[in-house]
Amino acid sequence: MTSTDLVLFDQAWARFESWLATQSPADHTALRSPATAAEIAELEKQLGFALHPELRGLLERRNGVAEPEPNSGPEPGVFPAGSILPLGHRLSSTAEIASVHEILVDIGEDNTEVDLWGEDDLAGHLHLCVPFALPNDGGVAFVDHRPGPTYGHVYEMGIGSGDLEGTLWGSSLTEFIRAVTDALETGTPFKHYWPATFEHSSGRTCIKWEIRS
């Protein structure tokens, strides 16, 4: 990647956060402080390879989202503040990324052992897929770290429902964040996920993504 690419990522992320700050302040408040250099270095040590520059850039800005406060559960069918990405995904911290990556490695090894997948299938290379966001249903959003044309692509995989093929959400984190922000600003869908808002009983207004056919 070039320095220009990272500038474009910075711009995309700043635009996304600006929308959150003005339109969904509870979600914006849920964003955690930046990861430290030591936390990022420890994550890369655990992964065994360097982070894609955009993912590193994301962690340098936000180290995931805060955990919901105890006994502050949402109204029925509603996720707590911080579920800012489609399907209710919440940004992961460096510690969460390392933990979930270990799970992906185990799943990938199981798939390799039974030889279910071809050379180009994601499920056979999950050790090179770095998660950055999680919903509450067993899915995962990750950045592909395989060398080659898919390096940096963003995928979502519904592992909890048995989906190991993955769905492309963007050719880069920059593209993905731009598309999500476009959806939020215009009220149009990202894929088939429509942005909406809800008012929690506490008075907070947060993002809710709806699935429409």
Nearest to 35 by CA among 99, 96, 104: 96
- Residue spans of the domains in the chain: they are 3-66+75-211
- Looking at the predicted structure, is the pLDDT value of residue 60 above 80? yes
| Residues 103/161/115/123 CA torsion (nearest 10 deg) | -60
Q: Percent of the chain scored above 70 by pLDDT?
A: 85
CA 143, distance to chain mean position in Å, is 8
Topology annotation, domain 3-66+75-211: SMI1/KNR4-like (3.40.1580)
pLDDT at 150: 95
Query: 180 or 3: which carries more pLDDT confidence?
Result: 180
pLDDT at 163: 73
Give the pLDDT confidence of 88-143 residue by residue, as tens digits.
Answer: 999 999 999 999 999 999 887 765 554 555 567 787 889 999 999 999 788 999 99
Q: Which amino acid is at 92?
A: S
Give the pLDDT confidence of 10-53 residue by residue, as tens digits.
Answer: 999 999 999 999 999 999 999 999 999 999 999 999 999 999 99
pLDDT at 158: 87
Per DSSP, helices labelled H in the chain are 3-23, 25-30, 37-47, 53-61, 94-114, 173-186
pLDDT at 110: 63
Nearest to 154 by CA among 181, 122, 186: 122
Give the pLDDT confidence of 157-183 residue by residue, as tens digits.
Answer: 987 666 778 899 999 999 999 999 999
Query: 73 or 16: which carries more pLDDT confidence?
Result: 16
